[in-house]
Structure 1
């Protein structure tokens, strides 16, 4: 019965806060509806500068193919390469495509021709992907020309042609939003169930209301549980909003069972709320708790595989990710959503999260010092 009244007190405190209920309602909507469009590693609308020294039918076809691909936007047409460089230096262009004067002649007489692709690599990702897109388009243009030149009667078994058809599993349309939205749900759970508990006890320390709890016979376990349960409920409410928005706005529904998501979300919520409670126990002021939580949140997000694959990280960074609970739940959400994975397929992640849950919640209870001032 004591826990019941403590939980009621926590909900009343949340309701009295003018900002927090609005944050709980609006923040998930903003993250799910806006961030998937912004946090997209697919590079499009790359500013292209064309230096066409040939002005032939083939050069015009190549330029049209590049621009119509959707990855490039014709930003400048220069008469020389030096002018194209100036366009890049002024920030109008990101990549230069120079077509030499003998492009069509070499293509017809010799069967091959050279092009110059010059890329601004100040932004390494944009430069690398831009050159890769351009190389693929030029290669595809070359294949189209060969198909037009080779007459059907000249095609024999001695000169076979292999056609490669790529099929992408789990995300067939290579839509980056499908990859990001399940991971963003994890971030929201972390914020509401980890960040808010981290501020909970500290706020009471600053207001002095915790002294009233310290002189009561309430046990440490009851006090901690009463602090965490409201945030667990908020976390599941936020998760339900995210699931509904993903289905309504993007048509994205999990291939696995919703029960798997909610069951493992409960396990993950235990971890982040326990971790937040540990930080709150060891912080003297709200400012200190916020800075420490922000420090750990940044590291956990960057080493979770949210934006970059973990196997692409250096070995020392991959070793650190072993101790990052955020990584395991991101893997779970993406696996359930995209692959339809069940509990039997997620044994490694479940074991790791179980260990984290026991560790952080035990630490939260033991580190809380119940004493009168």
Structure 2
């Protein structure tokens, strides 16, 4: 125990004496949680719309008015020349063209209107897809209002939409838990590995190798500071999510911390295993970056797992972040309990045991 305390004190002294690392540990989660939710959003705004009005009726003017009033759409130009609107689309000053055919209002009254045509710039697939949805919703709402004015029961009154767990469809509420996990991956994944390899490059690890310190004691002394740093980062991130964005967990905070402890054990054990097989900082960073990209892209952090091909969904079963993503989002947004998520906790526990055992076994201690 005395040896372990000495090693642990050495690790904390190394972190404190590093002029950059303590600032990174504090500044990184603050900047990520303050800035990234504002940037990483699937809410598409400022979709530039050109309206080709061939009808020139009260209905077409009302459609154009609703497009102007939308917070997601920006009215670019109104014209009766489709080719002129196409030039705007080609230049990039318009993202979509709404063409209202001649006689639309008259034909709508006769219940046989020609369809309104929407032409979109799909170079940016996300903006094109979401922008078209906003446009269709805006035009549909306008036409529903017009029908409701002529009918005692509007079509909108016949439909009820209820969004569970995220009533406002706020994309930040979906992304903030993912950003917390990215913080864990970067801080508790990179830093332990770089710490080991840094000692290899400086030669100080040789001094440890000639001592009677066991593999387990050395590995635990290396990991414990980063476990504490990870929990500190989680606390800061949760406080910022509450103070800045008003997002608080629907479930218990204890469920989140339990999942975080298991995930930190997993990712830090994995990083030490990589470091044990690496000789230089460059080698470690390349290997870690490779796996971290897989973790971020295939674990459900940024894209739903159900949207992936079948072969990719099978691979995600062996990716630890997948299970913590499910825990964090379910507890934060749905209020899920430990009993409901036991399989995810069990998977993280297995991964934590596996990677930390590998880290201790693969550490080559040479006297």
TM-score, with normalisation over the residues of structure 1? 0.94
Moved over 6 A (4+): 159-162
Alignment of 1:354-365 (within 5 A): 354-365=349-360
Quote the offset at 1:113 in angstroms.
Answer: 3.8
Structure 1 partner of 2:253: 258
Structure 1 partner of 2:18: 17
Label 1:52 to 1:14 Cα distance change in 2 as closer, same or farther (>3 A). Answer: same
Alignment of 1:27-38 (within 5 A): 27-38=28-39
Deviations 1:239-292 (A, max 9, x none): 110111111111111111111111221111110000000011011100110111
Alignment of 1:71-82 (within 5 A): 71-82=72-83
Greater shift, 25-34 or 133-142, is seen at 133-142
Task: Specify which of 219, 223, 226 is matched with residue 224 of structure 1.
Answer: 219
Quote the offset at 1:111 in angstroms.
Answer: 5.2
Residues 1:353 and 2:353 aligned together: no
Structure 1 partner of 2:200: 205
Q: Distance in 2 between matches of 1:47 and 1:323?
A: 43
Greater shift, 265-274 or 114-123, is seen at 114-123
Greater shift, 104-113 or 336-345, is seen at 104-113
Residues 1:274 and 2:269 aligned together: yes
- Is the Cα–Cα contact under 8 Å of residues 49 and 76 in structure 2 kept in the other structure? yes
Deviations 1:267-323 (A, max 9, x none): 111100000000110111001101111111111001111121110111111111101
- Any gaps of 5 or more consecutive residues in structure 1? none
- Any gaps of 5 or more consecutive residues in structure 2? none
CA RMSD of aligned residues (A): 1.7
Structure 1 partner of 2:185: 190
Quote the offset at 1:160 in angstroms.
Answer: 10
Q: Distance in 2 between matches of 1:195 and 1:162?
A: 54
- Is the Cα–Cα contact under 8 Å of residues 42 and 176 in structure 1 kept in the other structure? yes
Q: Distance in 2 between matches of 1:141 and 1:161?
A: 11
Structure 1 partner of 2:130: 129
Greater shift, 62-71 or 268-277, is seen at 62-71
- Is the Cα–Cα contact under 8 Å of residues 76 and 92 in structure 1 kept in the other structure? no
- Is the Cα–Cα contact under 8 Å of residues 215 and 365 in structure 2 kept in the other structure? yes
SS at match of 1:278: helix
SS at match of 2:251: coil
Q: Distance in 2 between matches of 1:43 and 1:149?
A: 33
TM-score, with normalisation over the residues of structure 2? 0.96
Quote the offset at 1:42 in angstroms.
Answer: 1.9
Alignment of 1:2-13 (within 5 A): 2-13=3-14
Residues 1:294 and 2:295 aligned together: no
SS at match of 2:318: coil
Q: Distance in 2 between matches of 1:111 and 1:85?
A: 27
Label 1:240 to 1:110 Cα distance change in 2 as closer, same or farther (>3 A). Answer: closer
Q: Distance in 2 between matches of 1:24 and 1:297?
A: 19
